[in-house]
Amino acid sequence: MLERKLEEATVSDRQFGVAQGAASHGRILELIRTAGGLSRQQLLSATGMSRATLYERLDALGRAGYVYEAEALAATGGRRSRNIRFDDRGRVILALALGQTRATASVADTDGSVLRSVTLDHDIADPAEDVLAPLVEAGQSLLASREASESLIGVGVGFPAPIEAGTGRLVHATTVPTWRADAAVTLLGGTWDVPLVVENDAMAAALGERSGDDETLVYVKVGTGIGCGIVIDGSILRGARGAAGSIGHIRMAREGPICRCGRHGCLAAFSSGLAISHNFSSNRHLGLDEIRVAAEQGDEEVNQILRSAADILGSALSATITTINPHRLVLGGRIGSLPVFIDGVRERVLTDVVERISDGLAVDAGAPDDRSAVRGLATLVMRKVFAPQTVDDSISNSLQATGQTA
């Protein structure tokens, strides 16, 4: 794995025009961070830089708090070298993962592991201020209880609507028709003086569910609604307008039940948690948590309705699976992660797609809560905060302030 990362990094340096091994401070940090730590000799081999130049840049990265010398490595003769690691000590990320009926505010480490969190009920159709203000308060409370060594480096927000990459603006958001396109950025951007990332919730969760950057993955969240994210080689597939994976509005029947978008027969009108909750006998009114409990207890009516919804979802997903040819299909959310639901989707998908697509395809359960989205949001924040160009600019400004050159 390490050798592969070094090889990929060397190729990447050539692609970006790094001449004579003159890797920038940001590229060196990226090598160290993605590999989980490297020795000076490994960095010399990967970059082709001169020893003096590499050591000078490592020194600048160390003084800026980006890297530190960690454990000693095995002796190879002479003085033992030490592992150079990315300095993630005390760095934390605030992740706000919004769904249609509940949201989670979490403080996570740089790997996206949740340190502490709180979940709130809400209605995403309410005015933006009413939805976001309690989350801001929850986030501030979580950060106020932090350890003295913790330092907030960024905020990530997952949202159940298409998001314009780079701007965080909502695009054709049928779930929040009254919100301004820039509501999330405007209302959250000035709260914390750190970089802000806004992403579609299912796309963030897809990134959080990946097992590695060489995996092609299709992730589907089935909660109140249906969301889908696709990750290829560690990158989110966004589409031309940020709406790739909007499978909830695939029309499954011209005369089907009405969807929240106003059309008839959308997938979400058959297979979303909201649709499922409306399909029980007239004397039963079950919320999503109650559906989970009933399914786990073997309630036959509940499981039959779940199997029917899963079969329709599996039919819709078959075209996506055939087109993308992923390693894994992951089903998350309070409804999607139920074993009976996963089994129904798996059976339909494996029946519908051809063998060369289905061979080796894994259909797995994702997290029923927002942990996947938190991991994905943490990844996106880290990529923004520690992007090579951002690091280079920071080092350059620091050196100029002291009269030095990069």
Q: Mind spelling out the 3-state secondary structure of 51-112? A: HHHHHHHHHHHHHCCCEEEEEECCCCCCCCCEEEEECCCCEEEEEEEECCCEEEEEEECCCC
Q: CA 245 to CA 326: how far, in whole Å?
A: 14
- Global confidence as pTM: 0.91
Q: What is the pLDDT of residue 74?
A: 55
Q: What is the pLDDT of residue 7?
A: 52
CB atoms within 10 A of CB 376: 32
Residues 331, 334, 338, 340: is their CA dihedral positive or negative? Answer: negative
Q: What is the pLDDT of residue 138?
A: 97
CB-based contact 162:242 (threshold 8 Å): yes
Q: Is 234 exposed, middle or buried (0-12, 13-18, 19+ CB in 10 A)?
A: middle
Rounded to the nearest 5 percent, the helix, strand and coil shares of the chain are 45, 20, 35
CB-based contact 128:169 (threshold 8 Å): no
Q: CA 42 to CA 45: how far, in whole Å?
A: 5
Q: CA 260 to CA 245: how far, in whole Å?
A: 17
* Residues β-bridged to residue 226: 222
Long-range Cβ contacts of 235-240 (<8 Å, 24+ apart)? 236/199, 236/203, 236/206, 236/207, 238/165, 238/203
- β-bridge pairing 102-108 and 114-121: antiparallel
Phi, psi dihedral angles at 160 (to 5 degrees): -80, 60
Unique residue bearing structure tokens 């979940």: 119
Encode burial over 22-61: b for 16+ CB neighbours within 10 A, e otherwise. Answer: bbbbbbbbbbbbebebbebebbbebbbbeeeebeebbebb
Element (H, E) at 206: helix 201-209
Q: CA 9 to CA 23: how far, in whole Å?
A: 10
Q: What is the mean pLDDT of each run of 10 residues along the chain (406 residues)?
A: 49 40 86 92 92 94 94 56 90 96 96 96 94 96 88 96 90 83 92 95 97 95 96 93 89 89 92 94 88 96 97 96 96 97 97 94 96 97 96 90 69
Q: What is the pLDDT of residue 182?
A: 93
Q: What is the pLDDT of residue 225?
A: 94
Among 76, 15, 96, residue whose Cα is nearest residue 370? 96
Among 250, 176, 171, residue whose Cα is nearest residue 203? 171
Phi, psi dihedral angles at 298 (to 5 degrees): 85, 20
Those residues whose C-beta lies under 8 Å from the C-beta of residue 189, and which sit 6 or more positions away, are: 196
Among 247, 201, 226, residue whose Cα is nearest residue 336? 226
Q: What is the largest CA-CA distance in the chain?
A: 79
Helices and strands (DSSP H and E) totals, the chain: 16, 12
Among 247, 226, 229, residue whose Cα is nearest residue 238? 229
Q: What is the pLDDT of residue 401?
A: 77
Those residues whose C-beta lies under 8 Å from the C-beta of residue 185, and which sit 6 or more positions away, are: 167, 168, 169, 196, 198
Unique residue bearing structure tokens 């359960």: 365
Q: What is the pLDDT of residue 406?
A: 57
Encode burial over 305-333: b for 16+ CB neighbours within 10 A, e otherwise. Answer: bbbebbbbbbbbbbebbeebebbbbbbbb
Distances (CA, A) of 304 to 98, 198, 291, 309, 350: 29, 37, 12, 9, 20
